Chain A
Amino acid sequence: MEKVIIKNLTKIYGHNTDRAMQMLRNGASNQEIREKTKQVVGVRDASFTVEQGESFVIMGLSGSGKSTLLRCVNRLIKATAGEILIDGEDINQMSSRRLEQVRQEKIAMVFQRFALLPHRTILDNIAYGLEVQGLRRPIRQEKATQALELVGLKGWEDSYPDSLSGGMQQRVGIARALATDPDILLMDEPFSALDPLIRQDMQDELLDIQQKLQKTILFVTHDLDEALKVGDRIALMKDARIVQIGSPEDILLSPASDYVARFVENVNRSRALTASTVMVKPRAVAYPKDGPLTALSHMERHGLSTIFVTDRAGHLQGYVQAEEASDLVDKGIRELDSIIRHNMPTASPDTMLAEIMDTLAYCKVPVAVIDEQRKLKGVLVRGSVIAGLAGGRRVSHE
C-alpha cells in the first residue's frame, strides 16, 4: 500500500516565488535562479512513493536539499509547488487544525541533535506527544513506559536529558517518536551526531525495532554506508534534485550518473552486496551415480580442485575433492558415495557478504549458495567476491 506519495515537489525559499518558479519550469539552473531572483531552490521537482512498512532513505551531501525535502513531508517547511499525499490526503491543503491532528497521530519525527526538552524528565520527554494529544496522565505514563522499555532505557525514567550520553538521548528521541504509535517516522540524520561505534549499534537497534513494528520510515542521512544498511530503497540527492532512486544494490551496481558512481566509490560494499550478486554459476557438477573417473574428468576439464555433487533436480548433496577421487580410481572403486563430504559452508542468496567474509577467508572449499530447498544456485569463489567488492559492475555469471 502506498503510504506517502510525493509528486513534483518543489521548494523555493523566499517571499514571492512566482518568477523563480517560472524560471525553474523553463529549466533554469539553481544558480541562474539565485542570481536573477536572489531566491534559493531547496528541492527541485522531487517525485517518489513510499510503501507502507518501507524504509526509504533520502541521502545526499549537506546542502543537497534532503532535510528540506523531509520537512516538507510534515509541512515544517511548506512546499512551493507539488503534492505530498499522506494516505491520499494532501498535507499542503490541510487546515491548520487538520495538520495538527495528522502530526499528532500519523507522523512523528526524530532529530539530529535529539531535541530533548531539558526541563523535563526522560519519561516526560517521551510522553510529550501523548501530552499534546491530551491523554490523561496515567495513560501517558503507561504508554511512555512501554516506549522507554522498547529502546532499553528502563530505570532512567526520572533522570534529566543532560545526564544521558548522546546515544541514550537519541534512544529517548526514538522512544518519543514511537510513543504515539505513528504510522510514519521522519528521521533527520538521527545518528550523525553519534560516535561511529554507537552509531552502528543504533542502526542495528533501529532495524530490530523496525522488524517488530513495521513503520513507514523516511530516513535522511549523508552517510552512504548507513543508507545502504537502513534503506529498503534510497533516493540520492544532488543540488536539490533527486538523481537516482533504487535499492541499495541498484545504487551500487548501476549508478545512474558519474556523481552517484563517485559517491559509491568508497563505500564498504560488503554491507550492501549479497551472495547472489557476486556468486558465479558452478562450472560443473557431479551426480551421485557418476563414477570417480567422470567426476575427475569434469574437474580436469574445468580446472577445479573440488566439485559439488547434486541430484538430478539440482539439490546439493555435498562435494568431492580431486585427490580423493583419483585415489578411488587407483583403487578401482566405481562409486563416489564413500568420498562425498556433506559438511560444508553454505550461504543463502540474501546473505550479506559481510557475514560470510570470514568463512571465505579461512575455508579451502568454495561456499555454495543454496536456496531454501537446498537447490544449488551458485558458488562463491574468492576471485568473484573480490571483484564484486572492488569494482562497480555486476560480475559475469559464467
Chain B
Amino acid sequence: MNSIPRLPLARWTDQAIDFLQTRWGPSTQAFSDQMENFIKGMQEILLGIPPELFIIAVVLLAWWLTGGKMAIFSLAGLFFIYNVQLWTVTMETLAMVFTAVLSCGIVGIPLGILSAKNQTAHNIIAPILDFMQTLPAFVYLLPAIPFFGLGVVPGVLTTIIFAMPPVIRLTDLGLRQVPQELIELGKSFGSTFLQMLFKIELPLARSTILAGINQCIMLSLSMVVIAAMIGAKGLGGVVWRAIQTLKFGMGFEAGLAIVVIAMILDRITQNLGKSR
C-alpha cells in the first residue's frame, strides 16, 4: 500500500485554482462588483423601509397566509429583533438571502426544466447536485476567496451554490410528476412546447417548485450565517464575533434572531404553495 505514491489531489486543486484565478481574475472582478452593487441596493431598499411599516407588512402577510398564531409570532419576533438592536444586521442578512434565492430561482428553475425534459441533461446534472449538496459547506468557502476575496460577494456566491440543488431537483421532480393523462391532454390538443410548459406543466408543478424554493430559502439562511466566516457580515457576523470574543449573550441574541427570521420565512413560503 505504502509503495503507491500519494495522490497529489490537493496540489492539483491548488494549481487549477491558481490557473483559473490568473485566467479569469479580471472578469470575476467585474462580476463581483456587479453582484456587490446588487446586494447593496437590496440592503438599501430593505433598510429604507421604516421598521414599523416592515413589521406591520410582515404581520399582515403572515395573518393572510397562515393565520393568527403566526401573525402574533411575527409581531413578537420582529419586535424582539428591533428591540435588541439587530435590525440593521438582520436586513443585511435578508438582503443576502433574497439575492441568493433570486439567483437560485433564475438559474435553478430553467436547469430543473432542462433536467426534466432531457434525460442526458438529467444524467449530467444529478451527480453534480449530489456533489454540491454533500460536500461540506466550509469547503466551498475556500475557493471563493481567491476569486472574490473576503466579503459579501463570495458569501452570497457560495450560498447560491449551496442552496440551488433543491430548486433544480424539485423543479425536475414536479415536472416529472405531472400525470401522463394531462401530458396527453396537452399534446392531443396540439399544444406547442412552450404552451405545454406554461399552461400545463409548470402550473401543475407549482407547489413542488415552491417547496424547492422554500428549502432554498432555509438553506440560504443557514449558509449566509456560515459565510460570515469569510466576511459576509449580517446576523452571522454577529454570531461569528461572539464566538471569537466568547460573548455568549450576544451570540444567543443573534441566534434567536436567526431562528425568528427562519420561522417566518419558512411558514410564509410553505403556505404560498397551498393557495390556488
Chain A residues in the interface with B (C-beta under 8 A): 71, 74, 76, 99-105, 107-109, 111-113, 115, 117-119, 128-129, 131-133, 160, 180, 186
Contacts and interface: CB of A to CB of B under 8 A. Distances in A.
Contacts of B189: 103-104, 108-109, 128-129, 132, 180
B188 A186 contact: yes
List 6 A-B pairs, minimum CB-CB distance, nearest first: A103-B190, A104-B190, A109-B188, A115-B185, A100-B190, A129-B189
A71 B179 CA distance: 17
Contact of A117 (B182, B184, B188): B182
A259 B6 CA distance: 73
9 contacts: A71-B184, A76-B187, A99-B190, A105-B190, A115-B185, A119-B203, A128-B185, A132-B195, A186-B188
A171 B80 CA distance: 56
Given A76-B188, A113-B181, 14 more contacts: A71-B184, A76-B187, A107-B188, A108-B188, A108-B189, A112-B181, A115-B182, A115-B185, A117-B199, A117-B203, A129-B189, A129-B190, A132-B191, A186-B188
Given A103-B189, A104-B190, A115 B199 contact: no
Contacts of B206: 119
B276 interface: yes
Given A111-B181, A115-B181, A74 B188 contact: yes
B132 interface: no
A131 B199 contact: yes
Nearest to B191: A132
A102 B188 CA distance: 10
B204 interface: yes
Given A117-B200, A119-B204, A102 B184 contact: no
Contacts of A100: 190-192
Classify chain B's interface size: 10 to 19
Nearest to A107: B188
A99 B187 CA distance: 10
Nearest to A125: B185
Contacts, number: 63
B203 A102 contact: no
Contacts of A128: 185, 189, 199
A270 B176 CA distance: 47
Interface in B196-249: 199-200, 203-204, 206
A183 to B, nearest CB: 14
A368 B188 CA distance: 49
A107 B189 CA distance: 8
Contacts of A186: 188
Contact of B185 (A107, A111, A180): A111
B197 to A, nearest CB: 13
Nearest to B188: A109
Contact of B184 (A105, A115, A118): A115
Interface in B9-58: none
Contact of B187 (A102, A103, A105, A112): A103
A151 B122 CA distance: 43
Given A119-B204, A132-B190, A109 B181 contact: no
A109 B185 contact: yes
A119 B276 contact: yes
A82 to B, nearest CB: 20
Contacts of B179: 113, 115
Contacts of A74: 188
A102 B190 contact: yes
Given A111-B181, A128-B199, A131-B199, A118 B204 contact: yes
B191 A76 contact: no
B132 to A, nearest CB: 32
A99 B195 CA distance: 15
A111 B206 CA distance: 23
Interface in B165-184: 179, 181-182, 184
Contacts of B185: 109, 111, 115, 117, 128
Contacts of A112: 181
A143 to B, nearest CB: 14
Contacts of A115: 179, 181-182, 184-185
A254 to B, nearest CB: 36
A387 to B, nearest CB: 45
Given A101-B190, A132-B189, A132-B195, A76 B204 contact: no
B183 to A, nearest CB: 9
Contacts of B276: 119, 160
Interface string B72-94: 00000000000000000000000
Contacts of A105: 190
A367 to B, nearest CB: 46
Contacts of B182: 115, 117
A180 B190 CA distance: 11
Given A117-B203, A131-B199, A109 B184 contact: yes
Nearest to A100: B190
B188 A103 contact: yes
Nearest to B181: A115
Contacts of A108: 188-189
B200 A76 contact: no
A113 to B, nearest CB: 5
A129 B200 CA distance: 12
B257 to A, nearest CB: 37
A121 to B, nearest CB: 10
Contacts of A113: 179, 181
A118 B206 CA distance: 12
Nearest to A111: B181
Contacts of A99: 190
Nearest to A99: B190
Contacts of B181: 111-113, 115
